[in-house]
Structure 1
Amino acid sequence: MYSPLRIVAVFCYLAGNVVADTASDLAGALAQYPSLSTLRQLVNQEPKLINTLFGNNKNFTVLAPSNEAFTQYTADNHRQLADVGAELLSNTLSYHILAGGLPYARFDSLGARGLTVPTLLTGELYNNRSAGVSLAASFGPGASGQVVLIQKNATDGYVQVQASQQQHVNLTGLDKQWSGGYIHMVDKIFDLPKNCTKTMEDTDGLGTLYNALEDSGAYGPIDTMANVTCLGPNDEAFNEAGNPQQRFNTSETNWMIRSHVIREPLYPDQIQNGMVLQTLRNTTINITVNGDHIFFNNARVQNTALTNNGVIYVLDKILARDPVPVQSGDPTSTSPSPSPTNEAAKPSASKHLSLAFILGGMFALL
Structure 2
Amino acid sequence: MEKNIVELALDTPELSTLVAALSRADGDLVNVLSGNGPFTVLAPTNAAFTAFLADNGFSSLDQVPTDVLSQIILNHVIMSDVTSSDLIAAGSGYAKGSATGAGDQNISIFFDTTNGVRFNNAASVSTADINASNGTIHIINAVLGLPDIVDHAIANPSFTSLVTALGAADGDLVSVLKGAGPFTVLAPDNDAFATFLDGTALGDVNTAVLSQILLNHVIIGSTVTSSFLVDAGSGYTNTAATGAGGNPMSLYFNTSSGVTFNGISTVFEADIVGTNGIIHAVETVIGIPTVVTFAAADPNFSTLVTALTDLTPGTDFAAILSRTEGSNADGINPNFTVFAPTNDAFDALESVPGEAVLTQVLLHHVIGEANVTSSMLNNPGDTTAATLQGDNMTITLPGAGDNIANITDGSGASDIGIIAVDVQAGNGVIHVINKVMIPNL
Please, what TM-score do these two structures have when normalized by structure 1? 0.54
C-alpha separation in 1, matches of 2:224 and 2:27: 38
C-alpha separation in 2, matches of 1:229 and 1:259: 5
Asked if structure 1 preserves the Cα contact closer than 8 Å seen for 2:129 and 2:136, the reply is yes
Does residue 1:160 correspond to 2:128, yes or no? no
C-alpha separation in 1, matches of 2:21 and 2:175: 42
Structure 2 equivalent of residue 278 of structure 1:
260
1:85 aligned residue (65, 80, 83): 65
Structure 2 equivalent of residue 351 of structure 1:
none
Are the structure 2 counterparts of residues 320 and 213 from structure 1 closer, same or farther at C-alpha, using a change threshold of 3 Å? closer
C-alpha separation in 1, matches of 2:80 and 2:164: 36
- Superposed CA offset, 1:89-108 (max 9, x none): 01100101111122333223
Offset of residue 73 of structure 1: 1.1
Does residue 1:189 correspond to 2:135, yes or no? no
- Superposed CA offset, 1:284-334 (max 9, x none): 2157x9xxxx9xxxxxxxxxx963322375999786999932134245899
Structure 2 equivalent of residue 105 of structure 1:
85
Are the structure 2 counterparts of residues 253 and 119 from structure 1 closer, same or farther at C-alpha, using a change threshold of 3 Å? same
Offset of residue 259 of structure 1: 5.1
C-alpha separation in 1, matches of 2:304 and 2:266: 14
Structure 1 equivalent of residue 368 of structure 2:
none
1:127 aligned residue (65, 84, 102): 102
C-alpha separation in 2, matches of 1:216 and 1:27: 42
Asked if structure 1 preserves the Cα contact closer than 8 Å seen for 2:42 and 2:137, the reply is yes
Higher relative contact order (CA 8 A, sep 6+): 1
Please, what TM-score do these two structures have when normalized by structure 2? 0.46
Are the structure 2 counterparts of residues 329 and 46 from structure 1 closer, same or farther at C-alpha, using a change threshold of 3 Å? closer
Structure 2 equivalent of residue 214 of structure 1:
171
Structure 2 equivalent of residue 224 of structure 1:
181
Q: 1 or 2, which has the higher helix percentage?
A: 1
Structure of greater Rg: 2
Asked if structure 1 preserves the Cα contact closer than 8 Å seen for 2:149 and 2:279, the reply is no
Structure 2 equivalent of residue 37 of structure 1:
16
Structure 2 equivalent of residue 17 of structure 1:
none
C-alpha separation in 2, matches of 1:259 and 1:43: 39
Offset of residue 62 of structure 1: 1.1
Letter of the structure 2 residue corresponding to residue 324 of structure 1: T
C-alpha separation in 2, matches of 1:201 and 1:25: 35
Asked if structure 1 preserves the Cα contact closer than 8 Å seen for 2:39 and 2:77, the reply is yes
- Superposed CA offset, 1:24-44 (max 9, x none): 954431133332232233335
Asked if structure 2 preserves the Cα contact closer than 8 Å seen for 1:265 and 1:310, the reply is no
Asked if structure 1 preserves the Cα contact closer than 8 Å seen for 2:110 and 2:152, the reply is no
Asked if structure 1 preserves the Cα contact closer than 8 Å seen for 2:15 and 2:44, the reply is yes
- For structure 1, which segment, 255-264 or 55-64, has the greater mean C-alpha deviation from structure 2 after superposition? 255-264
2:112 aligned residue (151, 160, 166): 151
Letter of the structure 1 residue corresponding to residue 89 of structure 2: S
C-alpha separation in 2, matches of 1:63 and 1:217: 28
Offset of residue 231 of structure 1: 2.9
C-alpha separation in 2, matches of 1:212 and 1:47: 41
Asked if structure 1 preserves the Cα contact closer than 8 Å seen for 2:184 and 2:224, the reply is yes
Are the structure 2 counterparts of residues 70 and 215 from structure 1 closer, same or farther at C-alpha, using a change threshold of 3 Å? closer
C-alpha separation in 1, matches of 2:25 and 2:173: 45
1:307 aligned residue (261, 266, 274): 274
Letter of the structure 2 residue corresponding to residue 128 of structure 1: G
Offset of residue 85 of structure 1: 0.8
C-alpha separation in 1, matches of 2:26 and 2:214: 49
Gap runs ≥5 in structure 2? 228-256, 306-424, 429-441
Letter of the structure 2 residue corresponding to residue 184 of structure 1: H
- Superposed CA offset, 1:41-74 (max 9, x none): 3335559631475495521111100122112213
Letter of the structure 1 residue corresponding to residue 260 of structure 2: Q
- Superposed CA offset, 1:250-294 (max 9, x none): xx845542257795569xxxxxxxx76433xx342157x9xxxx9
Asked if structure 2 preserves the Cα contact closer than 8 Å seen for 1:119 and 1:146, the reply is yes
Asked if structure 2 preserves the Cα contact closer than 8 Å seen for 1:57 and 1:180, the reply is yes
Are the structure 2 counterparts of residues 192 and 333 from structure 1 closer, same or farther at C-alpha, using a change threshold of 3 Å? farther
- For structure 1, which segment, 256-265 or 169-178, has the greater mean C-alpha deviation from structure 2 after superposition? 256-265
C-alpha separation in 2, matches of 1:201 and 1:181: 30
What CA RMSD, in Å, does the superposition of the two structures yield over aligned residues?
A: 5.0
Asked if structure 2 preserves the Cα contact closer than 8 Å seen for 1:99 and 1:119, the reply is yes
Structure 2 equivalent of residue 346 of structure 1:
none
Gap runs ≥5 in structure 1? 1-23, 131-144, 267-274, 295-304, 335-362
Letter of the structure 1 residue corresponding to residue 112 of structure 2: Q
C-alpha separation in 2, matches of 1:81 and 1:40: 14
Please give the secondary structure, in 2, of the residue aligned with 1:193.
coil
Are the structure 2 counterparts of residues 47 and 147 from structure 1 closer, same or farther at C-alpha, using a change threshold of 3 Å? closer
1:350-365 matches, within 5 Å, as 364=426
Are the structure 2 counterparts of residues 320 and 171 from structure 1 closer, same or farther at C-alpha, using a change threshold of 3 Å? farther
Letter of the structure 2 residue corresponding to residue 257 of structure 1: L
Asked if structure 2 preserves the Cα contact closer than 8 Å seen for 1:151 and 1:160, the reply is yes
- Percentage of pairs with the same residue: 16
Are the structure 2 counterparts of residues 172 and 117 from structure 1 closer, same or farther at C-alpha, using a change threshold of 3 Å? same
